Structure 1
Amino acid sequence: MEGGPSGGTLSEIYQSSRRLLLRTRDALERLERLEATTTAATGGGLDSPELSMSIKRDIIQVQSFCVEMDRLWRSISAKSQRDLWRRKVEQVAEEAESLKESLDKYFLRNQKRMMEAKERAELLGRANGDSAHVLRIFDDEAQAMQSARNSSRMLEESFATGVAILSKYSEQRERLKKAQRKALDVLNNVGLSNSVLKLIEKRHRVDKLIKYVGMISTVIILYAFWRWTR
């Protein structure tokens, strides 16, 4: 691993990180070419633990350089120089992150290949011992998967039906509420009309009583006046 000078200047650490990035990129390309070559030839990739771990260590070293450079560029007094070094350090950090992502993808592919190889070995071992048993296992798994798909489809259909029914119930409930409000309005209007009619009838009876009392009073007064003038 190529390390930067301990306590070096910003420029020295930057140059060390650039050289280390170049070496890491070349090593990663060799690792990917090796993977592609062995995959095409044998159907499975070939792992190179020493090379992959060396790449990982170099990436970690570059990232540690970035931490140190990030601290140093912030102490620069001139704004133009500070902005320039900030962009340079960010570029180094982005390249290191890109290389890390590529290496992580390689590790995932290698892990997947190892698992597939293990599964193939187990299946071949079972087939050599009892092929009928292996075929029965595949049939059972296929039937289980089909049953699970059918159950999932039935659940989805039941869910859709339930949603439709609830929607219809909601519409009917809204219509019933509107009808109930109209009925209450009608009842309120009828109740108001009955009250008004009763008030009118009562007033009419009072008017009739006043009229009769007035007529009787007039007759009595006229009679009394007639008797008095005789």
Structure 2
Amino acid sequence: MEPLYLQTNRLVQETQQCFEKLEKGGDANSDAIEREIQARIDSITSNCERLEILIYKEPLNRRTNGKLRIDQLKYDRMHLQAALDTYRNRRYQRLQEEREREALLNLQFRPSSSHETSILMDHGQKHHTSLQNANRGVDDLLQSGAGILESLQGQRVTIKSAHRRLYDIANTLGLSNTTMRFIERRAYQDKFILFGGMVFTLIVIGLIVIYFT
């Protein structure tokens, strides 16, 4: 087990040195260095798997220390693989930006491009006009909703006033307690109907605003 551990540890150090060459070498030999690094990482992975099997053949007093060393190798392998993936992603993004910049520099405008541009502008103007119309429609709906709410508030005041008048009349006429409770229960139900109508109106206005925006 010990020789395999030393060999794997040496592979980790050599792979780290390969990263230094990769950073200094530029794009000239980057493909070859990347393949070399990936091959070394694969070898480290294979060695770690073998070490995890061999550790159980060691004496009990050496297993704990051996397991810690194997875990360190596995951590180093993960770190190296992550560093390689990060380098590849950076390189791909750099190449993609270079291709896009090259394509932009080589773009040639044809005489018909002005016509295409005018079509795009007309389409944008129509879209802008449609948005303005939609905004005006939403404003009208909000104003209508505000008018409905004011009307409901006025009805609430009217109902309250009518309830007070009925109560006064009932006291004047000396109506029975059963009749009074019936009137109060009816007024209580009317209050729920009023609030329910207000909530329903607000929900409808909210849905219309969300739909149009």
TM-score grouping bracket, smaller chain normalisation = 0.5 to 0.7
TM-score by length of 2: 0.55
- 1:192 and 2:180 matched: no
* Kept after mapping to 1: 8 A contact 2:48/2:74: yes
- 1:11 and 2:19 matched: no
- Equivalent residues in 2 for 1:74-153 (5 A)? 77-78=64-65, 88-112=76-100, 115-116=103-104, 119-120=107-108, 134-135=110-111, 137-153=112-128
The amino acid across from 1:77 in the alignment is: T
- Summarize the Cα distance change of 1:170–1:23 in structure 2 as closer, same or farther, 3 Å threshold: same
Long gaps (5+) in structure 2: 56-62, 176-213
Provide the identity percentage.
9
Secondary structure (helix, strand or coil) at the match of 2:64 reads coil
1:97-155 per-position Cα deviation (integer Å, ceiling 9, x unaligned): 331122111331344256457754xx6xxxxxxxxxx41x1121110121122123223
Secondary structure (helix, strand or coil) at the match of 1:103 reads helix
The Cα shift of 1:55 comes to 5.5
Distance in 2, matches of 1:151 and 1:58, equals: 58
Instruction: From 23, 48, 53, give the equivalent of 2:21.
Output: 23
- Summarize the Cα distance change of 1:64–1:182 in structure 2 as closer, same or farther, 3 Å threshold: farther
* Kept after mapping to 1: 8 A contact 2:41/2:81: yes
* Kept after mapping to 2: 8 A contact 1:18/1:92: yes
Instruction: From 149, 152, 158, give the equivalent of 1:177.
Output: 152
Long gaps (5+) in structure 1: 1-5, 32-50, 124-133, 201-230
- Equivalent residues in 2 for 1:65-76 (5 A)? none
* Kept after mapping to 1: 8 A contact 2:16/2:80: yes
1:68-120 per-position Cα deviation (integer Å, ceiling 9, x unaligned): 58868998834875776566445424422331122111331344256457754
The amino acid across from 2:146 in the alignment is: E
RMSD, matched Cα: 4.0
1:178-221 per-position Cα deviation (integer Å, ceiling 9, x unaligned): 21211111122222222222227xxxxxxxxxxxxxxxxxxxxx
* Kept after mapping to 2: 8 A contact 1:63/1:93: yes
Larger radius of gyration: 1
Match of 2:133 in 1: 158
Length, aligned pairs only:
162
TM-score by length of 1: 0.51
- Summarize the Cα distance change of 1:13–1:143 in structure 2 as closer, same or farther, 3 Å threshold: same
